[in-house]
Amino acid sequence: MSLELQSISKHFGALTALEEVSFHCTEGEFIAVVGPSGCGKSTLLRLIAGLDIPTTGLVRFHQAPVRQPGSERALVLQDRVLYPWLNLEANVAMGLELAGKPRSQARQEARDWLARLGLAGFEEYYPHQVSGGMAQRVALGQVLAVKPKLLLLDEPFGSLDALTRLGLQELLQKLWQELGFGVVMVTHDVDEALYLADRVIVLTPHPGRIMTTLPIYLSRPRNRDEAPFITLRREVLAWLGIQPREGEHRRW
């Protein structure tokens, strides 16, 4: 078991953000977490990343308690997180240099990563000169370059247009299949969750508790238009209270 959350609760003063959340992520597994805004999804990722600690409960990664950030658990956010004063190559090389790689080797690896992410030829560009989709590719390169075992994604494609988002979902799936890292991805896009994940966890409105966990047994690459996918979409939307099940009224 690579990641294990044991009865995690998180309070901010009188506010309970998360309550008794337990789940695990096996090596290389892709987990998606969906739930209404404010239900504690970002808080959950911050706890796994070690940027904050739970009020009660324990996060374990490869058995060891998580109490601080580590490069084996990399967090990618929705908003641009690139260093604006560095070009794309230097942005990707940064983590490698911080990890102690000689500069020339770090730069070479960064160029290889940019090529792999479809950004060959953009090495010298600065973050403000590229589109949001390109910036998110670089953000992925930045963290994947240091070979994390677990990728934590907080609505990483949430601010992108629909077409760009589909392209990045394909790219993420390809990298995940090739490199074998685990993923915990928070998304408000139900189709994105169903397209990519091995399991979808649905959280309740706040405080966030696990409402249900749905294993997604569809083979990859998945087809968003096929009946089993559509059935699953309807099921997740029903759990979220957005679409009633047949013969059932809205939950909330």
Residues within the interface to ligand ADP (CB under 6 A): 12, 15, 17, 37-43, 206
* Cβ 176 to ligand ADP shortest distance, Å: 22
What stretch of H or E contains 45?
Answer: helix 41-49
* Cβ 207 to ligand ADP shortest distance, Å: 8
Q: Which of 6, 16, 42, 173 binds Mg ion (CB under 5 A)?
A: 42
Neighbours of 58 (CB within 10 A): 16
What's the full length of the chain, in residues? 252
| Cβ-contact 103, 90 below 8 angstroms | no
* Cβ 41 to ligand ADP shortest distance, Å: 3
- With CB under 5 to 8 Å by kind, the binding choice for 116 among ligand ADP, Mg ion, none is none
**Residue 33 or 119 having the CB closest to Mg ion:** 33
* Cβ 176 to Mg ion shortest distance, Å: 22
Query: Would residue 78 be called left, alpha or beta, if left means φ above 0 and alpha means ψ between -120 and 50 degrees?
Result: alpha
**Residue 114 or 151 having the CB closest to ligand ADP:** 151
203: its two tokens: 């959280």
18: its two tokens: 């998360």
**Residue 95 or 208 having the CB closest to Mg ion:** 208
Q: State whether residue 131 is helix, strand or coil.
A: coil
| Residue reference for tokens 């990728």 | 151
- With CB under 5 to 8 Å by kind, the binding choice for 204 among Mg ion, ligand ADP, none is none
Residues that bind Mg ion (CB under 5 A): 41-42
